[in-house]
Chain A
Amino acid sequence: MAVLGPGPARFWSGFTMVLLMLLIVLILTGSSWTRDVLTGHNDTWREPSPATQEDHDPDQHNGTNSANHRKAFPVLAFNYGHVRKPFEISLWILLALLMKLGFHIIPRVSHIVPESCLLIFVGLLVGGVIKAMNEKAPVLDSKLFFLYLLPPIILDAGYFLPIRAFTENMGTILVFAVVGTLWNAFFIGGMMFAVCQIEAAQVSHVDLLSCLLFGSIISAVDPVAVLAVFEEIHINELLHILVFGESLLNDAVTVVLYHLFEEFSHAGTVTARDAFLGVVSFFVVSLGGILAGVIYGILGAFTSRFTSHSRVIEPLFVFLYSYMAYLSAEVFHLSGIMSLIACGVIMRPYVEANISHKSYTTIKYFLKMWSSVSETLIFIFLGVSTVEGPHNWNWIFVIFTLILCLLSRVLGVVGLTFIINKFRIVKLTKKDQFIVAYGGLRGAIAFSLGFLLTDNEMKHMFLTAIITVIFFTVFVQGMTIRPLVELLAVKRKKESKGSINEEIHTQFLDHLLTGIEDICGHYGHHHWKDKLNRFNKTYVKKWLIAGERYNEPQLISFYNKLEMKQALMLVESGSAAKLPAVVSAVSAQNIQHQREAAPQRTIPRLSKTREAEIRKILRANLQNTRQKLRSYSRHDLFMDPCEDDMSEVRFRRQRVEMERRMSHYLTVPAKRQETPSVRKVWFEPEHKVYTYDDSESPGGGAIQLKLRPSDTSLLDESPQSTDRSPAPQSEDQSERQKPSRCLSDPGPNEDEEGSSFFLS
């Protein structure tokens, strides 16, 4: 992000932003005004009488035209009603996105105030402007929210859910989600009923069931708000997954409680049988939702197995299957959120093994984009709806709601943690409990659920209280959580560098702990995880992953991904064109065993597919100019070095390190005596960009790419390869070609041999 100069530059850019925003708001309101003006005109053209066919219109037009003088042919016409709806929708989205841009131009504000607060504030402004013009503003309609705005956010969250952390803490998360939400709902509902009995409040007409309904609406922690706030504070993974997982899984409880109390608030009483059915319904809703998600997930994974010939539509399958999962769950009043999460989680490992690299990037970016837009819109609309009203402010009701929400959250978390810690190995400390309690933010889901209630006086009061709580949590808690986190020195998220040593040892540890558990003789957590993995490997992967890749061990795929990333990084840094003198090189020679015979340098060799891929990447990208790296502020795309917010120095250092590694990967020894000829293979001479500089290589020898084909199919594209004499070794023959997910999808300037790289 360009660093703005101080003073005038920032002032002017801020000023232009404000102007732009005003312009958009004016257009929006102006459009509704002109709409009204035009409606009169349009109606005269269109049929005022009831039974009209459309083909009468041209007749009328013609009739009217011929009746009057012949008008000049309209060179420029104005027909706004035709495009009104998409036009306004686009303007709203544009406004939202310009807001987002604007915040990051003003750095100081965006550091203190979380984005969600600013967005609500903007929504308030816009709502105020619209109200001042006596227009009706669009409200956060429940249908709009639940069907269009919420799914992208949840899909984004579910698809990129950190599975390991989630499953390790599943018990804790479930307890918080289910028991915690139930406790919240009943405590708030019950206490509010007690409060309503106070004469001074004048709300004694609110009965118990309505209070419980209100309690169930307001009790749920909201995933959108949690994501928005926690995203920016980079807290450690355990706490993040606890709060976030809770916000996702409590959806089932909320759905059941809401429908339960809504049904019964009409009926008036609750019998024991109804309560029992409610419990059963909870299991049906949650398990049914998960089942729906799993089915669609498997379908999606299975479909992706066959997409090797139409790579461009691969991302669409992911999105559509997930959306269908959500909608199908909503049809049966099952938990749509859990369905969506289950679909994403199930689908992801198999789909990622099948799809091309570009599709993977597309999915990642589209999900982030949609969820970002959705979230922005939600907060803005929340602001607008607040101004719109109608409100029914009741001091006692609202204040007590607020206090009770906080109180019940704290009590719930502390009480539950006390019980949970007896079963957890890694206990939750007081600091952790505080953050979990403080992170219980309410958001737009509560508002939309409240909006769905039948329209009456009580509903307005409820809505007012809900909005107040949302504002309090988002503004006060959202703004103060960052300084609190720093004050309490809570552990932050550690930067995962994708180290291969860590990966090796993570796997090693898994097997070690499983083995120790087996020796101890009890079937613990690791044992079942190991069993699941083996089941997955032997049966499921065979069906859902295309080609030979299903038995690729995880370590190898991790390693391949890492190499790919490094190759891409190297290329995009633009330094592929020349290899500078590497000053401090830890060469592969340094780690070899010196006692081995000198010609037998056992330096890491790339497998053929790796070499081919890297060559292909380099070739395809060498012509590009050096890309500017931008920071990606919202929703960090983790594990993506290219998007990191790098300073120049750090980048340069990384580049040097990268080149070092690259040079080692490309250094090939004269390994065996049986292949005396070491070919120097240059990249396509016609490109003439890539040169190897002999004098600067660390090992003293030329940096060469040696291709030893046992399968020449991969290397057909380079003209030099055809006359290469294959010198297969017994090792090479046993080495299977691992086709890798990569760049085999057709791009705009791709050679046709692109497809030959993919062995399916």
Chain B
Amino acid sequence: MGATQTRFEHDHQDLVEKTGFSVEQIQNLHKRFQQLSGNEETISREHLKSIPALANNPIRMQIIEAFFDKRNQHGNELGSYEEIGFEEFLMVMSHFRPPTLRTTTEEKEAMRKEKVRFLFNMHDTDGDGKITLAEYRKVVEELLSKSGTIEQEAARAIADAAMLEVASTNVPNMGPDDFYEGITFEHFEQILKDLEMESRMHIRFLDVNTTKVHCGK
């Protein structure tokens, strides 16, 4: 028992360094991964889709897609996976770690950039590095999709107004014939500057083994 314990920990030691989670947190997440995947090595989109609690979430598909997005793996690849293993799962989860008391300002800045990058990748579905009007519209439509009435016109109006706002704050001197291609990452960062992503975009990862973990089925 002791031997397997240390081997388990040893396997995950590099994960600890890569993702910044503690060993206990990784173990908990591993358990969850096993549950979701039905004790297999990889999970696919169907596994995530079958989580009942996600059914009510309006941006369910985007969230699931984010797990399979190669851009979130801190590499330079584009495209998406069909199935992901535990390491990829953990990498995506690591975007949601909170800052600690010991995090320095530079680290906080890097964390913020990473989180904003994650959001950007969620919006920029075709991977061209810009959020175009059509993509942004899709975002707003999805947000409003579960709210009862599907107000397509309203969604469009909102998305267009939002786009206008980005354009006018970032590129104030556009002539009437200039074309604003889309929101680049820098512009995106700019508009989300006040939201303080590093303190808001996180969830609580449990250190202790919890019995509240529910089955994915």
Contact = CB atoms under 8 A, between A and B. Distances in A.
Interface of A: 421, 425-427, 429, 494, 496, 499-502, 504-509, 511-527, 530, 534, 537, 551, 553, 555-556, 559, 562-563, 584-594, 602-607, 657, 660-661, 664-665, 698-700, 731-732, 734-736, 738
Given A519-B54, A591-B163, A593-B134, A502 B192 contact: yes
25 contacts: A429-B101, A501-B166, A501-B192, A502-B194, A504-B140, A508-B59, A512-B59, A513-B202, A518-B54, A520-B29, A520-B205, A522-B206, A551-B149, A553-B144, A555-B144, A556-B154, A556-B158, A584-B173, A590-B176, A590-B179, A604-B164, A605-B153, A607-B154, A661-B164, A698-B176
B119 interface: yes
A500 B161 CA distance: 8
A607 B157 contact: yes
Nearest to B199: A426
Given A500-B158, A520-B93, 14 more contacts: A426-B99, A500-B162, A501-B162, A509-B201, A515-B57, A522-B204, A586-B172, A590-B178, A591-B167, A591-B179, A593-B133, A607-B154, A698-B176, A738-B154
A515 B176 contact: no
A699 B153 CA distance: 22
* Most-contacted residue by chain B among A512, A588, A606 (CB, 10 A): A512
Contacts of B149: 551, 736
A534 B157 contact: no
Nearest to A590: B180
A501 B174 CA distance: 20
Interface of B: 29, 32, 35-36, 48, 51, 53-54, 56-60, 63, 93, 96, 98-101, 119, 122, 132-134, 139-140, 143-144, 147-154, 156-158, 160-168, 171-174, 176, 178-180, 191-192, 194-195, 199-206, 210, 212-214, 216
A426 B57 CA distance: 26
B83 to A, nearest CB: 16
A503 to B, nearest CB: 9
A603 B36 CA distance: 44
B158 A555 contact: yes
A15 to B, nearest CB: 45
Given A518-B53, A559-B158, A508 B139 contact: yes
A731 B152 contact: yes
B54 A505 contact: no
Given A502-B192, A735-B153, A427 B53 contact: no
B191 A499 contact: yes
> Which secondary structure characterizes the binding site on chain A?
helix
Contacts of A587: 174, 176
A427 B100 contact: yes
B143 A508 contact: yes
Nearest to B212: A522
A507 B139 CA distance: 11
B157 A605 contact: yes
A584 B93 contact: no
Contact of A590 (B48, B58, B157, B167): B167
Contact of A519 (B63, B168, B194, B205): B63
Given A551-B147, A553-B144, A604 B53 contact: no
Nearest to B173: A584
Given A604-B157, A735-B151, A505 B167 contact: no
A738 B150 CA distance: 12
B154 A559 contact: yes
Q: Which 4 pairs, one residue from A and one from B, show the smallest C-beta to C-beta distance?
A: A553-B147, A604-B160, A518-B53, A551-B148
Contact of A513 (B35, B96, B134, B140): B96
Contacts of B132: 593
Contacts of B164: 586, 588, 591, 604, 661, 664
Given A502-B191, A518-B51, A555 B140 contact: yes
A518 B57 contact: yes
Contacts of B36: 519
A610 to B, nearest CB: 8
Given A511-B143, A604-B164, A501 B154 contact: no
* Most-contacted residue by chain B among A496, A520, A664 (CB, 10 A): A520
Given A586-B172, A593-B134, A505 B153 contact: no
Contacts of B213: 521-522
Nearest to A494: B194
B174 A590 contact: yes
B143 A509 contact: no
A524 B133 contact: no
A661 B165 CA distance: 9
B171 A586 contact: yes
Contacts of A660: 168
B34 to A, nearest CB: 11
Contacts of A507: 143
Contacts of A738: 151, 154
B119 A504 contact: no
A758 to B, nearest CB: 19
Contacts of B192: 501-502, 505
A710 to B, nearest CB: 11
Contacts of B191: 499, 501-502
B119 A505 contact: yes
Given A425-B98, A522-B212, A593-B133, A517 B176 contact: no
A591 B147 contact: no
A429 B100 CA distance: 10
A286 B192 CA distance: 39
A143 B19 CA distance: 61
Nearest to A606: B157
Contact of B180 (A586, A603, A731, A734): A586
B60 A555 contact: no
B37 to A, nearest CB: 12
A537 B99 CA distance: 33
Nearest to A700: B176
Given A553-B148, A604-B160, A736-B151, A504 B139 contact: yes
A564 to B, nearest CB: 13
Contact of A426 (B98, B133, B160): B98
* Most-contacted residue by chain A among B132, B153, B202, B206 (CB, 10 A): B153
Given A586-B167, A661-B164, A591 B133 contact: yes
Given A494-B194, A522-B213, A586-B164, A511 B58 contact: yes
Contacts of A425: 98, 202, 204
A526 B165 CA distance: 29
Nearest to A559: B158
* Most-contacted residue by chain A among B36, B53, B163, B203 (CB, 10 A): B203
A563 B165 CA distance: 13
B176 A499 contact: no
A419 to B, nearest CB: 14
Given A500-B162, A502-B191, A607 B204 contact: no
A518 B32 CA distance: 11
A699 B191 CA distance: 26
A661 B168 CA distance: 10
A606 B214 CA distance: 46
B143 A607 contact: no
A585 B60 contact: no
A584 B174 contact: yes
Contacts of A530: 56
A427 B154 contact: no
Nearest to A665: B161
Contacts of A499: 165, 191, 194
B151 A556 contact: yes
A504 B162 contact: yes
Contacts of B204: 425, 522, 524-525
A591 B133 CA distance: 7
Contacts of A501: 162, 165-166, 191-192
A511 B161 contact: no
A467 to B, nearest CB: 40
B48 to A, nearest CB: 7
A695 B87 CA distance: 61
Contacts of A586: 164, 167-168, 171-172, 174, 180
